[in-house]
């Protein structure tokens, strides 16, 4: 399951169903971002209300691990993390097309303000950078 669990309202029911239909010895793989480990993600920098929306949708790594374990899975969870300086201009298209799911959830005014801030930074200095951190969660759970 790649970048999908956060879209389900009843995550516990989803995992219960996965456990039910998976054969003994079967493996459930989960890959997603780990929002609680990336407070300086460029999205949250320019669109702060996006973090509030994500907190509603994303379970923490501890919650995921515990839920899987409680269902009887033997879970292994790893977080891949990086922090780097990125050019703001490289992210302008991503923001303007609103293709990142959380940008569709924030209100239009917050979205507009974030885009204007990003455009301003790029216009002021095409080479301007921001500190960006990114955390990916890789989970393998064996039944």
Q: Which tens digits make up the pLDDT trace of 2-12?
A: 999 999 999 99
Residue 116 corresponds to which tokens in the numbers above?
Answer: 């204007």
User: Tell me, what CATH number does 10's domain have?
Assistant: 3.40.50.150
The total number of structural domains in the chain stands at 1
Q: Is 13 exposed, middle or buried (0-12, 13-18, 19+ CB in 10 A)?
A: exposed
Q: Are strands 27-33 and 74-87 parallel, antiparallel or unpaired?
A: unpaired
Domain residues for the domain of 110 are: 5-142
Dist. CA 130–CA 132, nearest whole Å: 6
pTM: 0.89
Q: Which tens digits make up the pLDDT trace of 85-112?
A: 999 999 999 999 998 899 999 999 999 9
pLDDT at position 99 is: 83
Residues of the chain with pLDDT under 50: none
């Amino acid at each position: 399951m790649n970048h999908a669990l956060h879209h389900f309202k009843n995550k516990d029911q989803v995992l219960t169903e996965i456990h039910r239909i998976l054969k003994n010895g079967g493996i459930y793989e989960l890959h997603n971002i780990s929002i609680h480990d990336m407070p300086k993600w460029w999205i949250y920098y320019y669109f702060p209300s996006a973090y509030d929306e994500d907190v509603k949708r994303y379970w923490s790594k501890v919650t995921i691990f515990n839920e899987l374990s409680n269902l009887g899975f033997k879970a292994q969870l790893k977080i891949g993390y990086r922090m780097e300086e990125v050019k703001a201009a490289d992210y302008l298209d991503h923001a303007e097309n609103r293709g990142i799911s959380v940008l569709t959830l924030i209100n239009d005014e917050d979205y507009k303000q974030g885009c204007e801030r990003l455009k301003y930074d790029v216009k002021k200095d095409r080479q301007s950078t921001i500190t960006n951190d990114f955390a990916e969660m890789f989970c393998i759970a064996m039944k």
